[in-house]
């Protein structure tokens, strides 16, 4: 029987690092204020690289690691809430740059749940469309969506990309076990970015070009995350006929270290099973979970045969969990 395997992972972050002290130079904040409330110490910011540039770097690393011919790829998906453009899709740009001419390509927009939603899409397409190899990348350039005068959101986000090569194969013990996806659209207004303004008259060129920056009701999002993420994890674990103790690591979206600790507490699991790297990268939205996963694999913490729960949550509002045997 063919199983689905995450065969290779990779990550890339831009070289420019902005620590909390740097932010105090132009906004009313402090390292202590940011660290205590979020767990963030620094973040990477792209100065001259687009979302597609970041994703391309990951794609190139994945191909080098795997030795795969780009033409062997059947599918490329980029999860992002900060694409290069509304069209073409960032995934299509990446496909052209790496010459993966046989790959079907598109972007998905599920904000910080994007990578988890992407895993479910990849699984469905590999199983049902006679595809064998997929590349799934989360890539974000969130520094371009932020109002840098709003300390409640500006301190939270960073830029970066990460992803995986995923394949349907027979000679593997790895597998995608279960998933849970949920959207709560009646809470959509609590986290928004890039809203276009309707025209009051024509022509009104200023309105045509105007988009809103990132806005978030932090208290509402915190309540949503600490309520919905444990429930999503429990549903996915139950679908797998597992217990929480069967999960080696819970790889959660890195939005806020307090949220992650609260989820661990609600699930009555040791915090050591909930690795955190938000201190170094901030919130990288759809890149968050694959970035952490690649770091854990590179450091020898996550090993083949381990059972992982990957969970994302964010705009939509959305939440999703995927249980895999790595």
- Catalytic residue chosen out of the listed positions 20, 84, 253, 322: 253
**Dihedral angle, C-alpha 268, 274, 280, 283, nearest 10 °:** -70
Catalytic (active site) residue 44:
no
- Catalytic residue chosen out of the listed positions 20, 141, 256, 283: 283
What is the C-alpha separation between 12 and 55, in angstroms, rounded? 8
- Catalytic residue chosen out of the listed positions 112, 141, 256, 322: 112
Catalytic (active site) residue 283:
yes
Cβ proximity of 264 and 89 under 8 Å: no
Phi, psi of 228 (to 5 degrees): -85, -35
- List, in sequence order, every beta strand (DSSP E) within the chain: 3-12, 17-19, 42-44, 75-79, 104-108, 133-140, 160-169, 175-183, 191-192, 215-216, 249-252, 307-314, 318-325
Q: Is the dihedral of CA 325, 121, 13, 7 positive or negative?
A: positive
Residues with active-site annotation? 112, 253, 283
């Amino acid at each position: 029987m063919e199983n689905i395997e995450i065969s290779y992972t990779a990550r890339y972050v831009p070289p420019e690092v902005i620590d909390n002290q740097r932010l105090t130079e132009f906004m009313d904040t402090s390292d202590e204020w940011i660290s205590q409330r979020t767990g963030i110490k620094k973040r990477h910011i792209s100065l001259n690289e687009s979302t597609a540039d970041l994703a391309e770097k990951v794609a190139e690393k994945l191909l080098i690691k795997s030795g795969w011919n780009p033409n062997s790829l059947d599918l490329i998906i980029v999860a992002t809430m900060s694409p290069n453009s509304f069209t073409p899709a960032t995934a299509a740009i990446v496909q052209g740059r790496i010459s993966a001419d046989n790959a079907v390509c598109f972007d998905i927009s599920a904000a910080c749940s994007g990578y988890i939603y992407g895993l479910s899409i990849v699984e469905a397409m590999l199983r049902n469309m006679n595809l064998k190899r997929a590349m799934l990348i989360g890539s974000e350039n969130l520094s371009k969506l932020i109002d840098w005068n709003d300390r409640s959101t500006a301190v939270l986000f960073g830029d970066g990309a990460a992803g995986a090569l995923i394949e349907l194969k027979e000679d593997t013990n790895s597998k995608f076990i279960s998933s849970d996806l949920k959207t709560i659209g009646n809470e959509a207004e609590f986290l928004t970015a890039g809203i276009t303004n309707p025209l009051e008259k024509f022509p009104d060129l200023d309105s045509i070009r105007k988009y809103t920056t990132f806005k978030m009701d932090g208290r509402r999002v915190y309540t949503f995350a600490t309520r919905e993420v444990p429930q999503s994890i429990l549903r996915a674990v139950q679908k797998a006929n597992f217990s929480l103790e069967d999960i080696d690591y819970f790889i959660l979206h890195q939005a806020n270290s307090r949220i992650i600790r609260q989820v661990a507490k609600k699930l009555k699991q040791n915090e050591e099973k909930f690795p955190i790297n938000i201190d170094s990268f901030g919130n990288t939205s759809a890149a968050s979970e694959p970035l952490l996963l690649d770091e854990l694999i590179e450091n020898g913490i996550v090993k083949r045969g381990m059972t992982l729960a990957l969970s994302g949550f964010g705009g939509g509002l959305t939440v999703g969990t995927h249980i895999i045997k790595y």
